[in-house]
Amino acid sequence: MRHRTVGVIVCAVGLVAGLAACNSADIGDSASSAAQTSSDVQATPIPGFPAEQPQSLSPATLSQGAEVSPDAVAAAWASVTRAGIEGQYATWGSVLDAQTGTVLLDAGANQGHTPASITKVLTAFTALNTLDPSSTLKTRVQLQGSDIYLSSDGDLLLGTGPSNSSEVNGRAGLVDLANETAKGLAEAGLSATTLYWQADPFVGSDYFSDWISQGAGEFEGHVGAMAIDAGRTGPGAYSFFADPEAQVAQVFANALYSAGIATTLGSVATAPEGAQKIAEVDSATVAEQVRWMLHHSDNTLADQYCRLSASAAGQETSYQGATATLATTLVNAGHPIDGLRLDDCSGLSSNDRIAPYTLARVIQSSVMGSGGTADLVRSLPWAGLDGTMARRMSNSAAWANAQAKTGSLSTVSSLAGIVSTSDGRLLVYVIGTENVPDDAGANTRPVLDKFVGALAAL
């Protein structure tokens, strides 16, 4: 729930300071909530959902390639350890055999470390196991008298133009919604209307204020009822509208005017009981939006999906309730949460802690799983090809082989994903650096990439 204000959150990044500051948002690849600790978790059942429809992603195929020895992985990891000693930063990692779950590397794997955006792997797991991956988020208009009411199931990727069936961002277009609304109003004999819109439906703050003091506040917008392009002030911008619902209402009102309807902006309001639905558009599926979130490392969408998951699970929809829902989902799935401590579900907070082994187990379960769980690992970007991995590992055996979620904060770099060895054995890896001096976390990426390449060459 927010205090309604006019303005934007602006990313002020100088040319010289830009690299270090913007690492917080993973862009080099791309009242406050209380922190959640593993000791606070109370496991509660996650409600069932309708049977999932088949997803477009193909099932995983596990090769019977030769098993990899822990000694071989340790030899490859030695270069990471050396780099950490020489650079005076910490290194950590976990490597598992994807087929058997055998631990091949334990380098601080059961201790909590600063994860950065690889936190989104757990967020995706939570969303795909709590929500129906084949469902969509609907944005609708209801009519009562001469007034119309705009509301949404939580779609932050609305488009300003017509609905775009080939894109996830903008799948549901406000121009199409406005044209359908204008038709409904004309059928009711109306050529003028007053537009009211939905308030932020969540509990507590819609923006974690500690990000600002941590120097990362410009890299995430506000969660809420609806937004255009995750609330950005323009395509690719690192500035966000402080009231994304009001911005949607303004753009929608303009589209209605273009459709021939004189529209007066009202205020935040809920549609009266019995109001008639006259128009509706659908987002991309939950699975598609989660994949988009992973590929673009979108912080706002990550926290939005944690809130939606908390709501579906019947939990409080605050930051604390959302992170508790994430932890409970892991517990219910049989995954360890030792060392887990989260301020958010995006990984933007430098206070976040996750044990690498927790992430490795989640990814391994996805490799061996089905339905929404299986979609997680196949939604990760490919090395050298797409998403935040598009410019990574292009000169190694990991190119077009490894998949990973990247993570970046000013003093942190991390990777979590899968890679096939030269013999076709699939390995899960979760690796990272932290406490890198001089805010040079991004400079340690080649060290991590080299290790994944070494795994691919085994």
Domain extent for 120: 70-132+290-457
Examine the domain organization and report whether 222 and 329 are in the same domain.
no
Q: Is residue 51 part of a domain?
A: no
Percent of the chain with pLDDT over 90: 81
Beta-carbon-side half-sphere exposure of residue 246 (alpha carbons within 13 Å): 15
Q: Is residue 394 part of a domain?
A: yes
Domain boundary (232, 267, 285) is at: 285
Q: Is residue 310 part of a domain?
A: yes
Any residues with CB less than 8 A from the CB of 280 and at least 6 apart, and which?
138, 139, 140, 141, 177, 180
Rounded Cα gap, residues 132 and 440, in angstroms: 40
The CA dihedral of 444, 445, 448, 450, to the nearest 10 degrees, is: -110
The whole-chain average pLDDT of the chain stands at: 88
Examine the domain organization and report whether 306 and 431 are in the same domain.
yes
Using CA atoms, how far residue 70 sits from 41, 91, 97, 419, 456, in Å, is: 33, 18, 10, 16, 14
CATH (domain of 105): 3.40.710.10
Examine the domain organization and report whether 124 and 146 are in the same domain.
no
Q: Is residue 199 part of a domain?
A: yes
Record the tokens describing residue 358, joined without a space: 């927790």
Examine the domain organization and report whether 412 and 295 are in the same domain.
yes
Is beta strand 192-197 parallel, antiparallel or unpaired with respect to 262-268? Answer: parallel
pLDDT bucket at 358, cuts 50 / 70 / 90: very high
Examine the domain organization and report whether 297 and 227 are in the same domain.
no
Nearest to 8 by CA among 313, 280, 244, 251: 244
Which secondary-structure segment (H or E) carries 184?
helix 174-187
Structure letter (DSSP) for residue 288: H
Examine the domain organization and report whether 336 and 435 are in the same domain.
yes
Structure letter (DSSP) for residue 174: H
Examine the domain organization and report whether 271 and 339 are in the same domain.
no
- What pLDDT digit, counting tens, does each position of 127-146 carry? 999 999 999 999 999 999 99
User: Given this model, what pLDDT does residue 371 score?
Assistant: 73
pLDDT bucket at 286, cuts 50 / 70 / 90: very high
Examine the domain organization and report whether 151 and 212 are in the same domain.
yes
- What pLDDT digit, counting tens, does each position of 46-75 carry? 333 333 333 334 445 566 789 999 999 999
User: Given this model, what pLDDT does residue 203 score?
Assistant: 95
Rounded Cα gap, residues 107 and 429, in angstroms: 11
Record the tokens describing residue 28, joined without a space: 């080099």
pTM: 0.88
- Residues 305 and 127: beta-carbon distance below 8 Å: yes
Domain boundary (256, 285, 314) is at: 285
Record the tokens describing residue 25, joined without a space: 């948002």
Q: Is residue 448 part of a domain?
A: yes
Rounded Cα gap, residues 38 and 339, in angstroms: 6
Classified as helix, coil or strand, 139 is strand
Examine the domain organization and report whether 318 and 276 are in the same domain.
no
Domain boundary (268, 285, 302) is at: 285
Rounded Cα gap, residues 96 and 86, in angstroms: 27
Examine the domain organization and report whether 277 and 382 are in the same domain.
no
CATH (domain of 214): 3.50.80.20
Nearest to 429 by CA among 113, 117, 98: 98
Examine the domain organization and report whether 278 and 298 are in the same domain.
no
User: Given this model, what pLDDT does residue 63 score?
Assistant: 63
Which residue, chain included where needed, has tokens 């500035």? Answer: 239
Task: Count structural domains, the chain.
Answer: 2
Q: Is residue 104 part of a domain?
A: yes
Structure letter (DSSP) for residue 62: -
- Residues 309 and 300: beta-carbon distance below 8 Å: no
Which of 25-29, 143-147, 344-348 is least confident? 25-29
Examine the domain organization and report whether 324 and 408 are in the same domain.
yes
